[in-house]
Structure 1
Amino acid sequence: MTASSGESNKVLDTTQELYLKHVWASLLKFWGNEVDDSQVVSLIAKNRSSDSKTDSKKSTSFFGGWGGGSSSAKNDDKHEVAHNPFTKYHLEKKESECLFWNLLNTESPDSFILRFLRARKWHEGKALSMLVRSLHWRVHDANTVEIINHGECYAYKHKKEGLIKNLEMQKVVHSGYDLKGRPILMVRVKLHYSKDQSEEELEYYALLIIEQTRLFMKEPNRAATILFDMTDFSMSNMDYTPVKFLIKIFEAHYPEYLGNLIIHNAPWLFSPIWNVVKTWLDPVVASKVKFTYNVKDLSKYMSNDQIPQHLNGTNDLKLNEYIPIDGSADTKLKDKETFKAIMDERDKIIHDLYHLTVDWIQTTDTLESKSINEKRKECMARLSDNYSTLDPYIRSRCEYDLTGILHI
């Protein structure tokens, strides 16, 4: 049974829970914790050996073999799965450990890890490889924790003109929630011109928007719907570079974060463009693409009060009233004493979760495993609540904070 995006491990079957335990054991051991996962490894090997009777191509090796997943990621990963990914990427222990806990915001660590397991069709070796590669990317290529914490104020402080232009024209906005309670990210394509910003600024803007959207996500559906508003689209708006970037990062670094991708009101001239773009998409992502042309079509995915007025809904979005961010609302960022107290509590929760997770991995008793896991869930809930308290002490306020739209 495959759970929907963002659901916790309460819905996992016994085999899937073994895979989750094994990925946890690998991370904990890399970070210097003593874990005996021999029972887990034995049970996984037994299950895989049983499966191999019907599929001789399957491997019983933890890091061996290659299977389903995103086609683009396969080209990156297929050789490295045969090796320990921590060695492959020269990941630094403390740096990766801190990053892991810092990037979660209110999401539970189980939910985050499960994204990679689902993306790799429950092969724990491939999931671990994908997760480690993503941590490496966040450390060396895109520090998403710094991006979200510095927020929109960064653009004004460092005079990033292209980034400021994207923010002030509100090219991409949070426009509400779909019928499943997932945040809607509306992209007004007619506002995009490649000359308006550098490639670096556009990538920074994209990551900032994605990380902000993660803050809107809630259980049990921690995913988002992206609405590409193609109204008044022309060829001058077309830019393949950001399209390729978004496809790459969603497949490699934000697995299971995409609910639906709605392309609305696309003109006829978009057809040849789409014929090119769809060849770049993983089949799973392609299956989430929906074409809509009127408010009736949109109402299949969102209620009328979540559809913007310019698309014939009743949502009165303020698309011309952006508040420039000057950092004046970031008073709590200076309160180091309160910050330290909250972080001390966070460290204690993580310490408790480590011990519970080790016990959960090592126990051979099914009932005890279930009991420990319930304690883990309680601990992860406390971790999420802790972030809600910590947030204003580490993250610069964005427009959604100032307008009261974002509640963590």
Structure 2
Amino acid sequence: MEILKRYWIALINAISTQSSLPIDQIINSVYGDEFFHAIGYENPDVLALRWLRVCKWDITDAVQKMMKMLKWRHEWGVQALVAQGESNLSYEEIKTGKCFLMGYDKAGRPINYISAKDHINGQFPHETTQKLTVLTMETVRKLIDTPVETNTIVFDLSGFRLKNMDYQHIKFFISLIENYYPESLGQAIIVNAPWIFYGCWAIISKWLDPAIRNEIQFVRNEVELASHIDPSVLPRKLNGAQSDFEYIPPTADDEAMIATIRADVQGKANAQVAHQEAARHYLNVTLQWARGGTNPNLLAERVMAVTQLRNAFEKLVPYISTRTYYHRVGAIKEQIFHETYNQIRASIANHV
């Protein structure tokens, strides 16, 4: 607990120094804004503890890595990607099914499937494939339910050929997991690997941090895969009961909803202010707690501040993100989109 307190003080000071702003104003800075968008629905302590564990409780290293992550999110444009969603990707690439989310493993972790044969090196620009990967990693976070904090990745190598090998993208993917999405990987399973892949693996394995490499398991076939994932949630191509991935594009109603929400400039401004105020309050309470405040109600106030922050973020979500395929098939249930849309329409009707 003391390490976490010291970490919070060090992180807040680092954001203040980097932004050249006093602590009470860092919410309005680039790094402060990125930090509270990166948290999303989570308890901020969860993200803090991830970096501390990755850095073996070295506070200085953990703060530096957090700041590096925030810098990357800003420069790479993660917020803009999430706001535009699938419309910022290649629909043709999504339709390949090279990367999709479906079901949960036996530990309750959402599953990200990578179908190697459906990725042909050079078929699509590296930039669009990277965007698809990052958007998927942002989306899978919405499928994680407490107390689970990680996801599972299944690499299906059936039909793999050397034309499917993309070392450049693998390096990018490894960088994401190790540097920008700490402790997001619960386990990785490689299934149906042909003999030609093992030469590639000899190269790839050298790029992996030992902690990540230890999370990777090879299984020979779907029978062995079933020990990790119940066949009832596996896709048919892995001898499961679920239909194989088939992309469903946005409907006219989907597009009308998002267009209406995007046009609500005042609503977005109000939601942003409310989120910033909740973030500011959370930081104030956290600093008091971290500095050893004597108020006996501080712990309860901090718990309440987390709830207020999450609620404020939820109301901001329709203005800063969009519905995806996973919303359309019911895997992600963010009713806040419909609630916000209906509120806007009712407000418009009342003013006609």
Report the TM range for the smaller structure's normalisation: 0.7 to 0.9
Measure, in 2, the Cα distance between the counterparts of 1:329 and 1:276: 47
Is 1:130 the equivalent of 2:65? Answer: yes
Equivalent position of 2:280 in the other structure: 351
Shift of 1:322: 3.0
Measure, in 1, the Cα distance between the counterparts of 2:154 and 2:257: 30
Measure, in 1, the Cα distance between the counterparts of 2:284 and 2:246: 51
| Mapped contact 1:226–1:262 kept (Cα < 8 A) | yes
Map residues 1-400 of structure 1 onto 2, 5 A cutoff. Answer: 17-32=1-16, 86=18, 94-140=29-75, 142-155=76-89, 163-317=90-244, 319-323=245-249, 327-330=255-258, 331-363=260-292, 368=296, 371-400=297-326
Equivalent position of 2:342 in the other structure: none
1:364/1:346 Cα in 2 relative to 1: closer, same or farther (>3 Å)?
A: closer
Measure, in 1, the Cα distance between the counterparts of 2:246 and 2:278: 43
Measure, in 2, the Cα distance between the counterparts of 1:364 and 1:393: 36
Q: Mean Cα displacement is larger for which, 241-250 or 346-355? A: 346-355
Shift of 1:253: 1.0
1:325/1:139 Cα in 2 relative to 1: closer, same or farther (>3 Å)?
A: farther
AA in 2 matched with 1:315? Q
| Mapped contact 1:168–1:324 kept (Cα < 8 A) | no
Measure, in 2, the Cα distance between the counterparts of 1:321 and 1:360: 47
1:325/1:30 Cα in 2 relative to 1: closer, same or farther (>3 Å)?
A: farther
Equivalent position of 1:54 in the other structure: none
Aligned residues: 324
**Deviations for 1:199-240, whole angstroms, at most 9, x for unmatched residues?**
222222211111111222221112110111111111111111
| Mapped contact 2:100–2:112 kept (Cα < 8 A) | yes
Shift of 1:194: 1.4
Shift of 1:396: 2.1
Shift of 1:302: 1.7
Shift of 1:325: 7.1
Measure, in 1, the Cα distance between the counterparts of 2:188 and 2:246: 24
Measure, in 1, the Cα distance between the counterparts of 2:194 and 2:100: 22
Q: Which has the higher helix share?
A: 2
RMSD, matched Cα: 2.2
Equivalent position of 2:347 in the other structure: none
Shift of 1:295: 3.0
Shift of 1:191: 0.6
Measure, in 1, the Cα distance between the counterparts of 2:247 and 2:32: 40
**Deviations for 1:344-390, whole angstroms, at most 9, x for unmatched residues?**
3323322221221121012266x94xx52342122212322332232
Measure, in 1, the Cα distance between the counterparts of 2:190 and 2:241: 20
Query: Deviating runs (4+, > 4 A) in structure 1?
Result: none
| Mapped contact 1:360–1:373 kept (Cα < 8 A) | yes
Measure, in 2, the Cα distance between the counterparts of 1:112 and 1:383: 14
| Mapped contact 1:329–1:397 kept (Cα < 8 A) | no
AA in 2 matched with 1:111? V
1:283/1:376 Cα in 2 relative to 1: closer, same or farther (>3 Å)?
A: same
Quote the sequence identity (%).
27
| Mapped contact 2:144–2:150 kept (Cα < 8 A) | yes
SS in 2 for 1:186: strand
Shift of 1:276: 1.3
Measure, in 1, the Cα distance between the counterparts of 2:12 and 2:219: 46
Shift of 1:31: 4.8
AA in 2 matched with 1:146? A
Consecutive unaligned residues in structure 2, runs of 5 or more: 20-24, 335-352
SS in 2 for 1:228: strand
AA in 2 matched with 1:383? L
Shift of 1:30: 4.3
